Amino acid sequence: MLAFMPLKITIIGAGGFVFPFRLIGDFLSFPALRSSQLCLMDIDPDRVARTARAARELASHHGFDTDIVDTTDRREALRDADVVIITFQVGGIESYRHDVEIPRRYGVDQTVGDTIGPGGVFRFLRSVGAYDAIVADALELCPDAQFINYANPMAMATGFLNARGLKTVGLCHSVQGTTRMLARTLGIPYDEVNFVSAGINHQAWILKFEHNGEDLYPRLRETMHALHQRGRGARGLLSDEGDHSEAAADASNYEGGNEQVRTAIMETFGYFQTESSHHASEYLPYFRKNPQLTAEFIPERWDYFEICSSHDEQGDIDQQLERLENELAPSVEYGATIVNSLATGAPSVVYGNVPNTSLITNLPADACVEVPCLVDRNGVQPTSVGELPVQLAALNRTNIGVQELAVRAALTGDRENVYQAVALDPLTAALLTLDEIHAMTDELFDAHAPLLPAALRRYGDVGGTPAS
């Protein structure tokens, strides 16, 4: 049996309505992690206390002696932490409302708005102050901690944290969800599939998909073309309320049902993308030019802002608690797998978002890329993929440009980089003139002013200083 060491695992943003408690269930599913300390931190004392109560009830139900601490003190949460997990969204639902409603008035309709585009850029920028505060404390209190970022926009946030000096891997469930969906579609047991994926978060590519040495791509192209033709319409899909990281038994309205967009991308560029058709339609200029075209590709809309606005937070936790009390098993998330490997040395393979240290040779060196990573007691060790097919690298670079400029704006305080980032977004550029983009970005600056770094506020904004 592998020896293991108890860890201090800190979750910042532990008051979130679904995700933090699911992670806690994942941690408790690994025997080696049950003797760790779970330190739950949030700026809202009631929300973090709610998560802690459910966590203690879960641990008690299964007879675990896990030390579960809840606090609103960030420094106490970070002190001597071995692993720090970031799960928060700065500004909550009201700030998120600005991200989607202001661009929509200009004709830029985002189903999520958390990755690139105007929504993704400003979700990131209003989080920079919180990231900087965490960095300052962490470099003093837990400089060797492994940071795991689950917050979107994944590439911007993870790239920024690494640039600030924190050892950070960004995690998502796109690769796990997509490969499971493709295996179900082809009727192949998932544990018999061999695959490789690489690219950037929410726009990585399934480069290899095999079963017993057989290349599955010919079958995949034929099957997806037959199932997901443009204009076919919805197919009586299962509803999806936003918790889509589990392995769904059937096609939902999030993933596996409305796949006209990803099928069209594959038919033109040769490979399947790792994020849902709803998300994928936001990252490229081809699918959301007008409502009629959008409905042809996505006949049943999945709107994450509407889902978030209608969540019953206590009900969500109660449902998760009941499920985990009946059957304690990990989800498809990689976070607990990483922490278990750090604690025990048991090797694992995850897909992580990391700095591009020559991992994908035809993407920029300062990009944040998503690649296979080996994990053991030595930490998260990204593997080199080499060159992507040239057309896939070209698509990735259209998104990386937005990400690079947003991160540069956060690091330098240059407001012009924000306008440039939004102007380079492929969907925004396909719909708006430069004057319209400038006006929309000004509205977003004004709406988010209280949460933006001082250097990025316009003169006269709350706490603002003259722009340089």
Are the C-beta atoms of residues 448 and 128 closer than 8 Å to each other?
no
| Helix pair angle (260-269, 217-227), 10° resolution | 140
| Helix pair angle (92-105, 434-448), 10° resolution | 160
Pairing of strands 8-12, 67-71: unpaired
Pairing of strands 203-211, 214-215: antiparallel
Alpha-carbon distance of 275 to 334, in angstroms, equals 16
Selecting among 98, 173, 278, 279, the annotated active-site residue is: 173
Is 279 a known active-site residue?
no
Alpha-carbon distance of 162 to 328, in angstroms, equals 33
Alpha-carbon distance of 224 to 146, in angstroms, equals 39
**The residue type at 97:** R
Q: Which helix (H) or strand (E) holds 371?
A: strand 368-376
Are the C-beta atoms of residues 31 and 340 closer than 8 Å to each other?
no
Are the C-beta atoms of residues 168 and 161 closer than 8 Å to each other?
yes
Q: Give the list of residues 6+ apart from residue 65 with CB closer than 8 angstroms, or none.
A: 34, 35, 59
Alpha-carbon distance of 8 to 144, in angstroms, equals 12
How many CB atoms neighbour CB 310 within 10 A? 9
Q: Which helix (H) or strand (E) holds 154?
A: helix 154-163
Q: Which helix (H) or strand (E) holds 8?
A: strand 8-12
- Which two three-digit tokens encode residue 361? 């040779």
Q: Give the list of residues 6+ apart from residue 104 with CB closer than 8 angstroms, or none.
A: 110
- Residues annotated as catalytic are 173
